[in-house]
Amino acid sequence: MKEKFGLEDYIVGEVKNDKDKFVFIIDEINRGEISKIFGELFFSIDPDYRGIKGAVSTPYNSEEKLYIPENVYIIGTMNDIDRSVETFDFAMRRRFTFVEITADNSAQNMGLNEETKEIMHRLNNAIVDEGHLTQDYQIGASYFKNLDEGTLSIKNLWDYKLKPLLNDYFRGERLANDKMRALENAYFGTSED
């Protein structure tokens, strides 16, 4: 992002001008109730109401108004299949542009080596073909990064990270064991024979 948008590191105390760009990143944005987190500034998140024209009063100080400057970009990340959180409400959805990052995109962005990408690709194809889930359930590169770096073995990654996650995907399904066996074979590159 720094290169693509010409962003610079923030230096405490350094005065910036209106042309400088600032990025505010909220990881797992859908885990909080964003309208309450932003409070009165919820209205000002909308790009059409950025800057002074979108200034809002607060109940704490009627003379001072708050606004989000036009040179502040808010990026939120989210896992849209996370069952433990509610979906993004329509009022908030309208205030953001959504860009999907696929599992393959994440492997490319994180610079996984070809061998690790192949393992990830085999498993993700099996999630769709054998597990009969959509691509939304494919597993991203962050799970495979330690494998790529050599700090986690292929067996330990399966046993302690991937298998528990996939078991949750198929919890309560009649053919869960068969699907898990097929996914394990795909992951390790073995056949059922």
Digit-by-digit pLDDT tens for the chain (193 residues) are 677 767 777 676 666 666 778 888 888 887 877 777 777 777 788 888 888 888 888 777 767 888 888 888 888 888 767 655 556 677 777 888 888 888 999 999 899 999 999 999 999 999 999 999 999 899 999 999 999 899 999 999 999 999 999 999 999 999 999 999 999 999 999 976 5
Q: Around 158, how many Cα atoms within 13 Å sit in the side-chain half-sphere?
A: 15
Domain positions in the chain are 2-93, 103-188
Cβ pair 68, 54 in contact under 8 A: yes
Q: Which two tokens mark 148?
A: 């790529």
CA distance 193 to 187: 15
CA distance 72 to 16: 12
What is this structure's pTM?
Answer: 0.71
CA distance 102 to 135: 8
